[in-house]
């Protein structure tokens, strides 16, 4: 029953350091299954999704030592199970990332059908089609996917229908121990893909082309444990850039701990809206924008505008001087956030996968509900500039991907707190 309560109108200043990337750390944790022994991961975000992935690995027999808040030593020597159970996969769709490494190490995997944010179907058809090309046979029953490679994994050429991040990652992790060479065409190009390939290469894999549409993997017999640092979270960085654009004091806000090139299209769009962003060492400095220009945005795979920044940019466009259009091309249900922002005074009309936004003069604090991870964070950010108090419920979504979100905003000067509400009394 916890909520986040924000009082709008307080300027923020100072420096905020973003955590390691959620979407990278989860896949790197899964990849440790490929190299029996102790792999050390540094800069791991302390978030609930990481805790869930840790439970998935432990259920399989891995031993995890928490060295400090952001460093894990994962020992996969004793892994003797290849099942990702429903009660864990249902909490987080990224749990399906263990399929590729389990097939690479054991030649089999049993994965519950995925859950996670309610953003639409998010089917794993492309994962299955790609792995079938490598020689994997699938059987689905009672809510589980049974995957086996009776003849072993055989390198081949795979063309993805869509540049799916999850499918690309699963195919890379399965292919590193396949016989021969695998070529993935129309591969996802996200920075998190590059981070995964870098760690696998450090382990002894032979991967080239990560970050381009064509990834080539030459299979190897064995991989060895390594120490690897998780790349900074570009989406968390983008969220704090939005907060600074709304409420930064005269000195601005420094957002550090990430590579600005990973937010190239986002920063470009922000600058067209009138936001002043300076590149600094290991990050950016952002200044408050007094008047936002309207914007036309389409979410696309990297290097396009990321779907994970769509809700945050909607907050800005809802305050712009004029009309904006946001087109969501990745997830069909991602506009659930819009109706909550309307409760704060925004004027938004959703038609299919388009959101038409007419800029208003300001927001009013209201009681709103976090619909998903990024939408929840965006509602908190909107509360920074709203008149009065904003109370955001269902904040467990936010904790899936943002570490110490309330604390970081408070340290910048925001008037924000996490409040535990009493349990409702039954009639």
Catalytic residue among 17, 117, 289, 418: 117
- What does DSSP assign to residue 255? E
277 assigned ligand-binding residue? no
Half-sphere exposure of 233 (CA within 13 A, CB side): 26
Nearest to 107 by CA among 130, 137, 128, 78: 137
Where is 116: in which H helix or E strand? none
Backbone angles phi, psi at 14, to 5 degrees: 115, -155
| Alpha-helix runs per DSSP H in 344-414 | 373-385, 396-399, 405-411
The answer to whether the CB of 346 falls within 8 A of the CB of 357 is yes
289 is catalytic: no
The answer to whether the CB of 323 falls within 8 A of the CB of 292 is no
195 assigned ligand-binding residue? no
**For residue 258, what are the CA distances in angstroms to 40, 99, 299, 338, 375?**
20, 29, 21, 28, 21
Nearest to 153 by CA among 107, 197, 184: 107
- For 117, other C-beta atoms within 10 Å of its C-beta total 21
23 assigned ligand-binding residue? yes
404 assigned ligand-binding residue? no
The answer to whether the CB of 245 falls within 8 A of the CB of 404 is no
Residues forming beta bridges with residue 234, ordered by sequence position: none
308 assigned ligand-binding residue? yes
Which positions make up the binding site for UDP-N-acetyl-alpha-D-glucosamine? Answer: 93, 308, 330
> Which residues are annotated as part of the binding site?
22-23, 93, 308, 330
Q: Enumerate the active-site residues.
A: 117
Annotated binding site for phosphoenolpyruvate: 22-23
């Amino acid at each position: 029953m916890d909520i986040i309560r924000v009082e709008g109108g307080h300027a923020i200043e100072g420096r905020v350091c973003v955590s390691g990337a959620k979407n990278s750390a989860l896949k790197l944790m899964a990849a440790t299954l490929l190299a029996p022994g102790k792999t050390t991961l540094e800069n791991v975000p302390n978030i609930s999704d990481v805790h869930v992935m840790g439970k998935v690995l432990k259920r399989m027999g891995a031993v995890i030592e928490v060295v400090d808040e952001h460093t894990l030593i994962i020992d996969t020597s004793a892994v003797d199970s290849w099942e990702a159970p429903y009660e864990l996969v249902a909490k987080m769709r990224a749990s399906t990332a263990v399929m590729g490494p389990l097939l690479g190490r054991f030649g089999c995997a049993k994965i519950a059908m995925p859950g996670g944010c309610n953003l639409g179907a998010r089917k794993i058809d492309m994962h299955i089609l790609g792995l079938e090309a490598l020689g994997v046979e699938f059987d689905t029953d009672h809510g589980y996917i049974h995957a086996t490679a009776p003849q072993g994994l055989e390198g081949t050429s795979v063309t993805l229908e869509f540049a799916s991040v999850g499918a690309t990652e699963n195919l890379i992790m399965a292919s590193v121990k396949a016989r021969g060479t695998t070529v993935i065409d129309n591969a996802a190009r996200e920075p998190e893909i590059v981070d995964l390939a870098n760690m696998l290469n450090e382990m002894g894999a032979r991967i080239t082309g990560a970050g381009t549409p064509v990834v080539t993997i030459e299979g190897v017999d064995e991989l060895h444990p390594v120490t690897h640092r998780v790349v900074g979270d570009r989406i968390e960085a983008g969220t704090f850039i939005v907060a600074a654009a709304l409420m930064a004091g005269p000195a601005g806000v420094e957002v550090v701990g990430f590579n600005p090139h990973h937010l190239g299209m986002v920063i470009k769009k922000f600058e067209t809206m009138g936001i002043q962003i300076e590149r600094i060492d290991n990050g950016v400095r952002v200044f408050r924008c007094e008047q936002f220009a309207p914007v036309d945005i389409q979410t696309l795979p990297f290097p396009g505008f990321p779907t994970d920044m769509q809700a945050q940019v909607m907050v800005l466009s809802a305050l712009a001087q004029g009309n904006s259009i946001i087109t969501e091309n990745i997830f069909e249900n991602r506009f659930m956030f819009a109706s909550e922002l309307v409760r704060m005074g925004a004027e938004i009309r959703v038609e299919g996968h388009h959101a038409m936004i007419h800029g208003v003069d300001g927001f009013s604090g209201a009681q709103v509900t976090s619909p998903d991870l990024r939408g929840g964070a965006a509602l908190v950010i909107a509360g920074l500039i709203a008149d009065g108090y904003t109370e955001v419920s269902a904040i467990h979504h936010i904790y899936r991907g943002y570490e110490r979100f309330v604390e970081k905003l408070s340290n910048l000067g925001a008037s924000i707190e996490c409040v535990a509400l009493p349990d409702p009394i039954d009639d």
